[in-house]
């Protein structure tokens, strides 16, 4: 089912994000994780894509095989910065052959390109969204940034870019993760004021290791002191850290759902335990 159709139905939407593993053994483990989370009846799962343009078919093939083998709805992430228009057309056609009807249209991070060359046929996700729309047959998602995209000079221009993106064909938005809900609610208000009417699904990630604390600055994601203290306190105690993070994210999700969010997208980092416990804690399902 297209996510756009699902969003018209009653009930909150839940989705889980995974990344394509590099080894066969890791892929087997991923299938076990997805199978485990299937019992929670997610509305869809999503598979990330590298922005270099080097391995798009890893995402495409994994999306197809999860849909076929596990019978789950899948949204394939598609980045454009490392691709030509001809390449994007071929990838989109392959997705259609595999029955994938949902795509998250992204620019991709330029600094991830490393040794690979940005192909410079695409500059922004809105251009990819327009091409996918013209091809037809996809429900198209896009990324949103409650704390502003790090490259944007100011919030207003980022919101204008979001508006351009929806005008180009983005049907729904999934947000960058955040740890304080005020960012999501302010973002919703700004988007609505700018005329963005697409549903905005908040993205949440429970932190399950001390290592994950690093690098949030790069993404312009604010880390509240309570999170820093909790993760530092339980750095050597995985069970207590999991409990702390699950409690924090459960409270966050409950408040978002109670106050109008259409659902929650979970960044799982290919693990099931934390997401499973959070969903089991929720009353507003
Ligand atoms: P855009 O919407 O193109 O925006 C990029 C920047 O350009 C913003 O600062 C925006 O304000 C600005 N901008 C946009 N349009 C214009 C315009 N017309 N004029 C001037 N400025 C403009 N990355 C991956 O590599 N693989 C993934 O699988 C992946 N999945 C993601 C999933 C989610 C839910 C999210 C939130 C992000 C994901 N990302 C992924 C990260 C994303 O690729 C990066 O954040 C990237 O830097 C921006 O992508 P975008 O699609 O938001 O770009």
Contact 29, 62 (CB under 8 A): no
Alpha carbon nearest to ligand 1 atom 22, residue: 161
Query: For tokens 């490393």, what's the residue?
Result: 114
Q: Is 117 helix (H, G, I), strand (E, B) or coil?
A: coil
Return the DSSP state at 204: E
Checking if the pLDDT of 136 tops 90, the result is yes
| 107-119: burial string, b at 16+ Cβ within 10 Å, e else | bbbeeebeeeebb
pLDDT, one tens digit per residue, over 256-267 is: 999 999 999 999
Give the pLDDT of residue 118.
Answer: 77
pLDDT at 215 over 90: no
Res 217: pLDDT: 74
From the alpha carbon of 151, which atom of ligand 1 is closest? 9
**CA 78 to centroid of ligand 1, rounded, Å:** 11
> pTM of this prediction?
0.97
pLDDT-wise least confident of 4-18, 66-80, 214-228, 265-279: 214-228
Q: Report the b/e string of 122-143 with b at 16+ CB within 10 A.
A: bebbbbbbbbbbeeeebbbbbb
Query: Encoding tokens for residue 280?
Result: 């089991």
- Please say if 17 is a catalytic residue: yes
Looking at every residue in the chain, the average pLDDT score rounds to: 95
Domains and CATH numbers, the chain: 3-283 (3.20.20.220)
Nearest to 209 by CA among 240, 193, 182, 231: 231
Percent of the chain scoring above 90 in pLDDT: 88
Residue from 107, 145, 183 whose mutation best tests the ligand 1 pocket (most atoms within 8 A of CB): 107
Q: Note the pLDDT of residue 112.
A: 75
- Distance (angstroms) between ligand 1 centre and the Cα of 107 equals 5
> What pLDDT does 210 receive?
86
Q: What is the chain's alpha carbon radius of gyration, rounded to the nearest angstrom? A: 18
């Amino acid at each position: 089912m297209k996510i756009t159709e699902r969003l018209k139905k009653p009930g909150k939407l839940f989705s889980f994000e995974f990344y394509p593993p590099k080894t066969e053994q890791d892929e087997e483990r991923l299938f076990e994780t997805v199978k485990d989370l299937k019992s929670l009846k997610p509305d869809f799962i999503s598979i990330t894509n590298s922005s270099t343009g080097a391995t798009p078919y890893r995402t495409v093939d994994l999306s197809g095989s999860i849909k076929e083998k596990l019978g789950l709805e899948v949204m394939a992430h598609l980045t454009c910065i490392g691709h030509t228009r001809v390449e994007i057309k071929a990838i989109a056609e392959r997705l259609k052959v595999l029955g994938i009807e949902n795509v998250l249209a992204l620019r991709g991070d330029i600094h991830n390109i490393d040794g690979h060359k940005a192909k410079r046929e695409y500059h922004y996700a809105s251009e990819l969204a327009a091409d996918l729309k013209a091809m037809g047959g996809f429900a198209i998602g896009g990324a949103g940034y409650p704390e502003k995209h790090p490259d944007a000079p100011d919030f207003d221009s980022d919101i204008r870019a979001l508006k351009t993106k929806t005008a180009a064909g983005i049907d729904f938005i999934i947000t960058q993760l955040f740890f304080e809900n005020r960012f999501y609610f302010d973002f919703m208000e700004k988007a609505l004021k700018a005329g963005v009417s697409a549903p905005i699904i908040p993205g949440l990630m429970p932190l399950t290791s001390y290592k994950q604390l690093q690098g949030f600055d790069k993404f312009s994601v604010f880390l509240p002191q309570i999170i820093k203290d909790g993760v530092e306190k339980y750095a050597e105690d995985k069970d207590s850290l999991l409990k702390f993070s699950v409690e924090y994210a459960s409270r966050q999700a409950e408040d978002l759902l109670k106050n109008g969010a259409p659902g929650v997208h979970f960044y799982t980092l290919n693990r099931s335990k934390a997401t499973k416990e959070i969903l089991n804690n929720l009353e507003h399902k």
